[in-house]
Amino acid sequence: MQFLGSHLLSTEQLTLGDIDTVFQTARLLEPVARGEKVTRLLEGAVLANLFFEPSTRTRISFGSAFSRLGGRVLDTTGFEFSSFAKGESIYDTSRVISGYVDVMVVRHPRLGAVKEFAEASGVPVINGGDGPGEHPTQALLDLYTLHKELGRELHQFDGIRIALVGDLKYGRAVKSLARLLSLFKGITFHLVAPDELQMPSALVQHLQACGHQVLQTSDLATGLHGVQAVYSTRIQEERFPSPEDADRFRGSYSINRAVFEQHCQPGTVLMHPLPRDNRSEHCELNNDLNSHPQLAIFRQTDNGIPVRMALFALVMGVQDQITASLQDPRWALRRR
Amino acid sequence: MQFLGSHLLSTEQLTLGDIDTVFQTARLLEPVARGEKVTRLLEGAVLANLFFEPSTRTRISFGSAFSRLGGRVLDTTGFEFSSFAKGESIYDTSRVISGYVDVMVVRHPRLGAVKEFAEASGVPVINGGDGPGEHPTQALLDLYTLHKELGRELHQFDGIRIALVGDLKYGRAVKSLARLLSLFKGITFHLVAPDELQMPSALVQHLQACGHQVLQTSDLATGLHGVQAVYSTRIQEERFPSPEDADRFRGSYSINRAVFEQHCQPGTVLMHPLPRDNRSEHCELNNDLNSHPQLAIFRQTDNGIPVRMALFALVMGVQDQITASLQDPRWALRRR
Amino acid sequence: MQFLGSHLLSTEQLTLGDIDTVFQTARLLEPVARGEKVTRLLEGAVLANLFFEPSTRTRISFGSAFSRLGGRVLDTTGFEFSSFAKGESIYDTSRVISGYVDVMVVRHPRLGAVKEFAEASGVPVINGGDGPGEHPTQALLDLYTLHKELGRELHQFDGIRIALVGDLKYGRAVKSLARLLSLFKGITFHLVAPDELQMPSALVQHLQACGHQVLQTSDLATGLHGVQAVYSTRIQEERFPSPEDADRFRGSYSINRAVFEQHCQPGTVLMHPLPRDNRSEHCELNNDLNSHPQLAIFRQTDNGIPVRMALFALVMGVQDQITASLQDPRWALRRR
C-alpha cells in the first residue's frame, strides 16, 4: 500500500513488502520509543485519539507513540458522544474532527464503524479496533515481536511452527495474526481450542489454500509439541453455558511453568495479546511464569510503541527524515 | 477591548475593530491551522480545557488550536467534578486552577457560571458556552466564515441580506451571530421560523433599533428569496408537544438540493452551527447537499481553528510574534 | 533517598536532606512554574497520569508541572478501567503502562494499591494519593508553603508552633504534614479537634518520642493561641451520626475574620489542603478571609507546581540541567 495519507483499516491491506517497510521504520525508531533519543518529527501535528469503547492501554500506547514523535494528542473516551446523542452521523463527526487534526485513531464497538469514519475523513484514520472486526496494529506488533523473539528476518519466517491457543473463534487478535502469517510460506499452525471455540472454517481453509499446514486439536499437550512459539488467548466466561464450564475449559488450556517445561521445547516464545485473566489459577499464562525469560508478553506490549510510531511516521510521510532527525547532536541520548 | 490578559465571555464585549483584529490574526495563522507551518509561539504555555458539559468537538477544536500554537492542553470532561461534590465553590475551583495554567476555556451548563470562573481567575477565561447564555467563539467563527465565503472584508458587510432559519428562540449560536451582525449597517435579516420559535422580540427590536431591516416569516420559500447566505439551525424535538409536531415543523424548514435550487439564488452560502440531525429525512440541511460547493458547514468548523488560535494569541499577547515565527526557515512548509 | 529512577510512595522515605534537595530544585523552577520562562528539560518524555479516583485539581497540577518541564501528559480518569474489568492484575496493568511512558503518577482509592503499581513498574511511580494512605506531594507542598510564608529556611524550622485543626483522625494531608514536621526539633503542635476526630495516638506518641511538644485541645481559642501557622482541615459530614452533629462541630472549628483577629497573633499563616466546604457558613476558613493577606491557601496550591516539577526533575535525573536550560537566551522571559 501507499502509506502517505492512507487509512489503515485492515491487515488485508498489507503485503509482505508493506510489513517490511513498517518493521524497518520501527527499528529506526526504537531508541526514541525507549526514551533514549528525542525527535521533533511530528512537531505541530495533532492526533485525535477517539476511543468510543474503553481500552485504556491501547489508547495510551497510541498516545505515547505520537507524543514520542513530537506530536500532540487529544483524547476522547467513552461510549457517550455528545453529538451522536443529538442525531449526528458518523460522516459529520468524522469530517468535522478531520478538519481539526492531522490523523485519527478510532476504536469503536461496532464492526465497520471505523471504515465509515475513514470514508468521511480528510486525514488518515488508523483502526484501533472495531468490535469483532479488525485490530491491525495489534497484529503488526505481534508479528514484530515474533520477528524479534525468534531472531528471524521476515524472509526467514517461512516454515515456522506456531501454536494458537484458546478462543480462536471470537479472538480478534489471534485471527488477525493468522491472516498476517498466511502471507509467508509453509507455516505449520497448531490450532488448540475446545471444539466450541475453534477457528472459523473459512479462515482455516484460507490458511490451507495458501499452502500452510493446519493441525487442529483440543488437547493442549499435543498442540504445544514442537512449536517455536505459542500465542495464547483469553477464554471469556460469557462464551459458555455456566462459569463452571468456562473454568473447566480454562483449566485445560492454561499454561503454567510446569506445563511449559513438560510440553514445550526450550526457547519456545510465549505470547498473549493481553489482558490475561489473572484472577484465576487457570490464567492462560500463569503468574508463575512472570519472571521466565521466554514469557514475551510485556516485550510484546513494549513493541507496540515503535510499531505504532512507524505507522504514524509512514501515513504522515516523515519516515525519510527519521535518520537525520536522530543524528541531530542536540537531542542524542538525553537521559540516564 | 484590550485582549491581553482579558476574559472573553460575550459577543457584547466586541467592537467591529476588535473583530477585525481577531480576523487579521486568524488569517496570519491559517497556514498553521492547516498544518502547513509549525510555530512555537505558545511553547511552555498550558491550557485548562474545562468542559463541565460534554461537547467533544468544541473541546477538540479549542485543544487543537492551542496545540497548533505550541502549547499543552489539559482536559477535564463531564458533569461530575470531584471538588464540587465536596462543596467547593466555583471561586475556589477557578482560583486554584488558574494558578496551574496560563488560560482556561470553560463550558458549563449553567448561565453565568463561566462569568463566575472569570471573576476568580488570575488568567484569561474564554467562554466555551454557558447553557442558554453565550458561545462567543462560535459567533466569531460563523462571521469569519461568512467573510470568507462571501469574499467580503468587514467594511463590505453593510447591506447584505441573510436568512436565519429554524429555532431562533432557543438557538444560542444564531442569536449570538445576529448580535455580531448588528454591528454593521443596513443588514436585512430574514427570520424564518415557526411562530413558536421566532426570535425573542427584545433581540428583534435591538436589530431594528440599530437600523437593520427585519423580515419575519414562517414560510421557508419566502424567507430564502434573495438572500446571500442562509444560517440554518436545529429544531429540537423537546420544544414541541409531540415528536410528530416536531417532525412536521422540521419538514417545513428542511433544505435539500431541490429546495436550494428552486428558492435560493446561485452562490447562496449554506451554513449551520452543527450538529445536524442526520437521522431524519427532514434534516435541516439534507445529506444530498453534502457534495454541493455552496454547503459551507465543514469549512465553518474548519474555520474554528484559526479563529480560536487568534483569540489565544491575543489574550496571551503573542500576536506580534506570529509573522516572525512563521518566517523561521526551520519550520516552513513541513508536510505534504 | 536516591531520587533518580525511584518511586515516591510515602513521606517516610524522606530525610531532611531530601526535602532540602526538593525545595532547592523547586526554587530554581519557580520562574518556569509561573510561566515566565520556558524549558525543554523533559522534551520527549511522557507521563501517564493515572487517576483511578477522581481528583481533578491534583491531576491538573501534576499534568501542568510535567507540561511546564516540556513533557507530554496522557491522562486516565475514572474508577472503571477496562482491563481491570476483564480480570487483569495491577501487576500486568502497571508493567504494560510502564513500557509506554517515562514516569507514572497514580491515584487510587485503595490503601497500598499505588505500592503494587510501583512494584511492577519499570519506571518511577509517584503516589498521587492512595485512599486513607499517603499523599506525599501534598505534604511536601504544604511544608514548602510554610517555609515560604514564614520566611524560614529548613534549618530555621526548629521550635516553631503550629495548630492543626479539624479532622486529625481521617485527614490524610494533615497526618502526612505532621510526620514531615516531626523531622525537625522542638516543634510545638496544637492538635485542635473534637475528641472523636483527634489525631491517632500512635502518631501523637511518635511526635512526642521525637521530642516535640503536643498540646491536645477541643477548644479552638486555646488552640489558636500563640501559633505561627494554622493548618485547617475539612470535617466531613459522614463522620458524624447526623448532619446536625456535623454542623455543630464545624461551627466550633470554623475560622472567620473575626475569629482570626481575636485569637491569632498578627502574621499567623492560614493554610488548608482544600477543598473547603464553601456551602456552609461554618466553612473551615470562611469566605470573608478570601482577600486577607494571611490566607495562604491559594499560594499553597500554586506551590504545588514547582514542588511537583522538582520531583519530576529529580526522579528523571535532569535537575543538574535546570540552570543551564534557563539561561538559554532563546527562551528567557517570554510573556507579559
- Subunits with 3+ Cβ pairs within 8 Å of C are A, B
Q: pLDDT higher for B329 or B290?
A: B290
Average of per-residue pLDDT values in chain C: 93
Residue B70: band (very low, low, confident or very high) from pLDDT cuts 50, 70, 90? very high
Q: How far apart are CA B52 and CA B93, in angstroms?
A: 12
- Residue B277: what pLDDT? 84
* Beta strands across the sheet bearing B229-232: B213-217, B188-192, B161-165, B229-232, B269-271
Give the pLDDT mean for B34-47.
93
Q: What is the largest CA-CA distance in chain A?
A: 62
Burial class from Cβ neighbours inside 10 Å (0-12, 13-18, 19+) for residue A320 reads exposed
Average of per-residue pLDDT values in chain A: 93
Q: How far apart are CA C51 and CA C215, in angstroms?
A: 37
Give the pLDDT mean for A35-42.
92
Position C245 pLDDT exceeds 90: no
Bridge partners of B289, per DSSP, are: none
Preferred mutation among B46, B51, B95, B123 to probe C, highest tally of C CBs within 10 A: B46
Residues of chain C above pLDDT 90, percent: 80
CB of C242 within 8 Å of a chain B CB? The answer is: no
Give the pLDDT mean for A67-75.
97
| Helix, strand, coil abundance in chain A, percent, nearest 5 | 45, 15, 40
Give the pLDDT mean for C70-91.
80
Position C91 pLDDT exceeds 50: yes
CB of C41 within 8 Å of a chain A CB? The answer is: no
Give the pLDDT mean for C248-277.
94
- Minimum distance, in Å, between the CA of residue B63 and any CA atom of chain A: 7
Return the closest-CA partner of residue C60 out of A335, B96, B130, B40: B96
Could you say which residues from 168 to 227 on chain B have a Cβ atom under 8 Å away from some Cβ of chain A?
A: none
CB of A76 within 8 Å of a chain C CB? The answer is: no
Position A81 pLDDT exceeds 70: no
Residue in B with minimal Cα distance to C53 = B82
- pLDDT tens-digit readout, B271-320: 999 999 887 788 899 999 999 999 999 999 999 999 999 999 999 999 99
- Residue B191: what pLDDT? 98
Position A57 pLDDT exceeds 80: yes
- Minimum distance, in Å, between the CA of residue B100 and any CA atom of chain A: 19
The reply to whether C11-134+304-327 and C137-298 are identical in fold is: yes
Of C60, C234, C276, the CB nearest to B97: C60
Position B81 pLDDT exceeds 60: no
Give the pLDDT mean for C232-260.
87
- Residue C334: what pLDDT? 52
- Residue B124: what pLDDT? 98
CB of C321 within 8 Å of a chain A CB? The answer is: no
- Residue C330: what pLDDT? 59
Of C45, C82, C91, the CB nearest to A35: C45
CB of B316 within 8 Å of a chain C CB? The answer is: yes
The CATH class that applies to domain B137-298 reads alpha beta
Residues of chain C above pLDDT 70, percent: 96
C-alpha cell at C197: 476526630
CB of B46 within 8 Å of a chain C CB? The answer is: yes
Residue C329: band (very low, low, confident or very high) from pLDDT cuts 50, 70, 90? low
C46: Cα separation from own chain's centroid: 23
Residue C124 φ/ψ, nearest 5 degrees: -60, 140
For chain A, the structural domain boundaries read 11-134+304-327, 137-298
- pLDDT tens-digit readout, B82-140: 666 677 889 999 999 999 999 999 999 999 999 999 999 999 999 999 988 899 999 99
- pLDDT tens-digit readout, B150-193: 999 999 999 999 999 999 999 999 999 999 999 999 999 999 99
CB of C79 within 8 Å of a chain A CB? The answer is: no
Residue in B with minimal Cα distance to C299 = B99
Cross-chain Cβ contact C56/B81 below 8 Å: yes
- pLDDT tens-digit readout, C200-217: 999 999 999 999 999 999
- pLDDT tens-digit readout, B245-262: 888 888 889 999 999 999
Residue A336: band (very low, low, confident or very high) from pLDDT cuts 50, 70, 90? very low
- Minimum distance, in Å, between the CA of residue A276 and any CA atom of chain C: 6
Of B278, B280, B336, the CB nearest to A92: B278
CB of A44 within 8 Å of a chain B CB? The answer is: yes
Position B335 pLDDT exceeds 60: no
Cross-chain Cβ contact B68/A95 below 8 Å: no
Q: How far apart are CA C7 and CA B334, in angstroms?
A: 40
- Subunits with 3+ Cβ pairs within 8 Å of B are A, C
Question: Which residues of chain A neighbour C4 with C-beta distances below 8 Å?
Answer: 336
Residue in A with minimal Cα distance to C84 = A275
Give the pLDDT mean for B38-62.
94
Cross-chain Cβ contact B97/C331 below 8 Å: no
- pLDDT tens-digit readout, A112-145: 999 999 999 999 999 999 988 899 999 999 999 9
Cross-chain Cβ contact A91/B234 below 8 Å: no
CB of B57 within 8 Å of a chain A CB? The answer is: yes
Cross-chain Cβ contact B87/C56 below 8 Å: no
Q: Which residues of A31-41 are buried (b: 16+ CB within 10 A; e: fewer)?
A: bbbebebbbbb
Q: Is B290 helix (H, G, I), strand (E, B) or coil?
A: coil
- Residue C336: what pLDDT? 43
- Residue A279: what pLDDT? 79
Q: How far apart are CA A17 and CA A183, in angstroms?
A: 10
Question: Which residues of chain A neighbour B39 with C-beta distances below 8 Å?
Answer: 44
- pLDDT tens-digit readout, C153-176: 999 999 999 999 999 999 999 999
Question: Which residues of chain A neighbour C80 with C-beta distances below 8 Å?
Answer: 54
Amino acid at B274: L
- Residue B85: what pLDDT? 66
- Residue A333: what pLDDT? 45
Q: pLDDT higher for B170 or C142?
A: C142
Q: How far apart are CA A290 and CA A297, in angstroms?
A: 9
- Residue C280: what pLDDT? 78
Residue A207: band (very low, low, confident or very high) from pLDDT cuts 50, 70, 90? very high
- Residue B334: what pLDDT? 52
Q: Is A207 helix (H, G, I), strand (E, B) or coil?
A: helix
In CATH terms, A11-134+304-327 corresponds, of 1.10.760.10, 1.10.3720.10, 3.30.930.10, 3.40.50.1370, to 3.40.50.1370
Give the pLDDT mean for A86-105.
93
- Residue C332: what pLDDT? 47
Q: How far is CA B36 from CA A51, B29, C36, C87, C89, in A?
A: 27, 10, 29, 45, 44
Question: Which residues of chain C neighbour A298 with C-beta distances below 8 Å?
Answer: 95-96, 99
CB of B32 within 8 Å of a chain A CB? The answer is: yes
Cross-chain Cβ contact C87/A279 below 8 Å: yes
- Residue A88: what pLDDT? 83
Q: Which of A119-123, B325-329, C2-6 has the lowest mean pLDDT?
A: B325-329
